[in-house]
């Protein structure tokens, strides 16, 4: 029996691959390949749930080959149906072996997954902000080739391809390339580009290409560099462990800062008329929570009331800020958030189901946790959360079960 036992068709708005050490390097053009460092795994935390061999740093490639052999073994596969939500990170079925991912989808019972990288969001952001145009663009192209290759094994895997907005002319070119390659979504940084606004009219060609193709723009946690001044953690006390038991991921204090960049970026785009000019462009805010969305919507309404008489750009908007949000933006709540309350306050159109497979942060029973928070919701609301809103986000370009 598949993990999804809701009786509903479920689309997963946040899933990941686990990149092997040379994943980006192998897909880079020769001109920049030597500038891309092979991945390291700080503290080994991402690997500890997989295979003790991966604690050896002298031969990562051989270690991953041995781990792949483990995944392909009869013993490992014999119990994977029972352990599909228990195995995490590199231990999970289809986490790094593309040929295994269709089987993982069958065992999960999801109609599709929007697939993100795990280790490269912050690297892509840093390269975009480095001022090194060739490296930023070359790394984005390498990322997109790698994502396309992994997701090519099954139409249910919808790839996210990175577009650095720092370079306006190249951004339009990269967006067109990614769409031509079959991108499920265009991934951009949640924060501001280094030298201009995310609402710059020069980027209209990116939004136009996405709107015409029915491809959404998506943000994802980890793509904004350092969220907090590091001095917030200099409190004279031990650093709390993260989900993985180490110090590399976010903790409670980091969590409070996650909504800041997408909230500011989307408000800027809204006030500067991007969603007025592109009325069918869809935005997905992924793994950045949704509990903040109702108050953010009200804050934009307040700003609109306060400044509309003074700012011509606000006077040209044909709708209220909250109406643009409900029409064009969707957010993935964390399993700890009250989805029923978000629906009541922000509108059922704004929320998407996500599993975060195969990451630890997504938990072992995300559907059950979401279901508990939606006990007072209608069947139509549940259907929207698990299915309809994702179909809208993806412009209808999603595979649906037959029969």
Average pLDDT of adjacent 10-residue blocks, the chain of 403 residues: 94 97 95 89 48 50 90 97 96 98 98 97 94 97 98 98 97 98 98 96 98 98 76 83 56 87 97 98 98 98 97 97 98 97 98 97 95 96 98 94 65
Q: How many CB atoms lie within 10 A of CB 65?
A: 13
State the pLDDT at residue 366.
Answer: 97
Phi, psi of 186 (to 5 degrees): -100, 120
CA distances to 8, 50, 88, 107, 216 from 358, in Å = 21, 12, 5, 13, 23
State the pLDDT at residue 63.
Answer: 84
The answer to whether the beta carbons of residues 182 and 397 sit under 8 Å apart is no
CA distances to 38, 116, 118, 166, 354 from 19, in Å = 11, 10, 7, 25, 20
State the pLDDT at residue 396.
Answer: 93
Q: Which domains does the chain have, with CATH numbers?
A: 13-393 (3.20.20.140)
Token digits of residue 353: 């189901």
CA distances to 1, 10, 106, 110 from 401, in Å = 16, 10, 11, 9
pTM: 0.94
Cβ neighbours for 42, distance < 8 A, ≥ 6 positions apart:
246, 248
Q: What angle do CA 30, 35, 37 make, to 5 degrees?
A: 115
Entry field: residues in the chain: 403
- Looking up tokens 């490639």 gives 61
CA distances to 10, 96, 276, 394 from 147, in Å = 22, 11, 31, 17
Rounded Cα distance, 82 and 143, in Å: 33
Long-range CB pairs of 376-383, under 8 A, 24+ apart, other chains included: 376/340, 377/339, 377/340, 377/343, 380/348, 381/343, 381/348, 382/6, 382/8, 383/8
Coil, strand or helix at 16: strand
State the pLDDT at residue 312.
Answer: 96
Token digits of residue 131: 């001022």
Q: Where are the beta strands (DSSP E) in 166-300?
A: 185-187, 217-220, 283-286
The answer to whether the beta carbons of residues 71 and 123 sit under 8 Å apart is no
Nearest to 112 by CA among 401, 385, 367: 401
Rounded Cα distance, 396 and 137, in Å: 29
State the pLDDT at residue 403.
Answer: 53
State the pLDDT at residue 247.
Answer: 46
Rounded Cα distance, 312 and 114, in Å: 38
Q: What is the largest CA-CA distance in the chain?
A: 69
CA neighbours closer than 13 Å in the CB half-sphere of residue 44: 12
Alpha helices in 99-215 (DSSP H): 101-108, 121-128, 133-151, 168-180, 204-213
Phi, psi of 113 (to 5 degrees): -135, 135
């Amino acid at each position: 029996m598949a993990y999804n036992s809701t009786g509903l068709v479920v689309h997963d708005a946040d899933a990941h691959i686990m990149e092997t050490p040379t994943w980006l390097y192998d897909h880079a053009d020769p001109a920049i390949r030597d500038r891309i460092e092979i991945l390291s795994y700080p503290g080994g935390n991402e690997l500890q749930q997989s295979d003790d061999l991966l604690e050896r740093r002298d031969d990562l490639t051989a270690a991953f080959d041995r781990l792949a052999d483990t995944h392909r073994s009869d013993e490992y596969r014999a119990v994977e149906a029972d352990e599909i939500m228990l195995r995490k990170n590199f231990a999970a079925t289809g986490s790094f072996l593309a040929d295994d991912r269709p089987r993982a989808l069958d065992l999960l019972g999801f109609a599709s997954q929007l697939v993100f990288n795990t280790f490269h969001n912050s690297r892509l952001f840093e390269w975009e902000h480095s001022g090194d145009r060739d490296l930023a663009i070359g790394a984005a192209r390498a990322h997109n080739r790698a994502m396309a290759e992994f997701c090519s094994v099954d139409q249910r895997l919808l790839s996210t391809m990175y577009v650095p907005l720092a370079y306006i002319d190249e951004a339009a070119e990269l967006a067109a390339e990614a769409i031509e390659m079959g991108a499920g979504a265009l991934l951009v940084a949640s924060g501001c580009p280094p030298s201009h606004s995310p609402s710059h009219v020069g980027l209209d060609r990116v939004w136009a290409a996405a709107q015409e193709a029915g491809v959404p723009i998506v943000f994802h946690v980890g793509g904004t560099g350092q969220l907090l001044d590091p001095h917030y953690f200099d409190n004279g006390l031990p650093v709390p462990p993260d989900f993985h038991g180490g110090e590399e991921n976010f903790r409670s204090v980091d969590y409070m800062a996650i909504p800041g960049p997408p909230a500011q970026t989307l408000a800027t785009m809204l006030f500067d008329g991007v969603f007025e000019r592109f009325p069918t462009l869809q935005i997905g805010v992924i793994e950045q929570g949704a509990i903040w969305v109702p108050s953010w919507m009200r804050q934009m309404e307040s700003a609109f009331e306060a400044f509309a008489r003074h700012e011509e750009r606000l006077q040209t908007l044909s709708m209220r800020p909250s109406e643009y949000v409900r029409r064009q933006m969707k957010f993935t709540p964390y399993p700890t958030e009250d989805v029923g309350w978000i629906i009541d306050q922000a509108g059922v159109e704004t929320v998407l189901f996500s599993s975060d497979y195969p990451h630890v942060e997504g938990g072992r029973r995300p559907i059950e946790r979401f279901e508990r928070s939606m006990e007072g919701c209608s069947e139509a609301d549940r259907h929207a959360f698990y299915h309809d809103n994702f179909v809208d986000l993806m412009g209808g370009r999603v595979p649906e079960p037959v029969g």
